[in-house]
């Protein structure tokens, strides 16, 4: 495990200038989640689905450990701002949530007793702490079936309001019409005026000249 852990940590930190405690937690959580489900990791197939509760360095660690990725549609983010992840065996639909213990920062000092700086104590300790000292692992039941979460590729429909194409069965049916989620519930952006693409490009070009 130590050699494998070192290799995965190197991979997780490849796109960063340093290795941080959250990357280590991501790798450890990724390995633990797959192991408890009885699945080898990292994987090259789509049997393992991982749902992260935050992004950033932690996500890089989980991705390195599991082989799951957004581009493969085996990794998703439900941004709760928590260092936690749920692991799902797509074949059996068994699922479990893995997170650090609530007192993990305090426990870390026992594994780096000569390190007074908390950041570096965590960085060292998280590599060697036993899973039972580092993590909580809880069986969970998904709010949606795996088939609905993953959906089917190649399914397309146009929004009855804005006309844009919706893929992966993400439409919302309201009054018998298929709507995108932005039109149905409001989205993460508010539209002001729709500009043709050439005008948008020109607008950004002039803005860059001003700066």
The DSSP 8-state label assigned to residue 111 in this structure reads: G
CATH architecture of 2-148: 2-Layer Sandwich (3.30)
Give 201's pLDDT tier (boundaries 50, 70, 90): low
pLDDT at 2: 46
Give, in degrees to the nearest 5, the angle at Cα 70 between 28 and 184.
125
Helices marked H in the chain: 2-12, 21-36, 57-66, 104-108, 118-128, 131-134, 146-150, 181-185, 197-210
CATH 1.10.10, domain 151-189, yes or no: no
pLDDT, tens only, 175-198:
999 999 999 998 888 877 666 666
CB-CB contact of 29 with 36 (8 Å): no
pLDDT, tens only, 90-109:
999 999 999 999 999 999 99
pLDDT, tens only, 79-92:
999 999 999 999 99
The full set of domain ranges for the chain reads 2-148, 151-189
Residue 96 tokens read as 């479990």
């Amino acid at each position: 495990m130590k050699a494998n852990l070192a290799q995965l940590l190197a991979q997780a930190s490849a796109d960063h200038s340093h290795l941080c405690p959250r990357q280590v937690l991501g790798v450890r959580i990724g390995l633990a989640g797959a192991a408890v489900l009885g699945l080898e990791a990292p994987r090259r197939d789509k049997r393992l689905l991982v749902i992260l509760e935050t992004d950033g360095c932690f996500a890089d660690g989980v991705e390195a450990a599991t082989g799951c990725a957004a581009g493969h549609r085996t990794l998703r983010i439900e941004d709760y701002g928590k260092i936690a992840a749920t692991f799902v065996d797509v074949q059996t639909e068994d699922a479990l949530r893995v997170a650090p213990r609530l007192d993990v920062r305090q426990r870390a000092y026992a594994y780096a007793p000569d390190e007074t700086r908390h950041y570096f104590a965590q960085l060292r300790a998280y590599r060697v702490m036993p899973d039972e000292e580092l993590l909580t692992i809880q069986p969970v039941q998904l709010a949606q079936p795996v088939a609905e979460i993953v959906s089917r590729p190649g399914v397309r429909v146009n929004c009855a309001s804005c006309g844009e194409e919706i893929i992966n069965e993400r439409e919302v049916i309201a009054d018998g019409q298929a709507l995108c989620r932005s039109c149905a519930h409001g989205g993460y952006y508010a539209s002001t005026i729709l500009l043709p693409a050439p005008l948008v490009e020109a607008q950004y070009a002039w803005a860059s000249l001003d700066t």
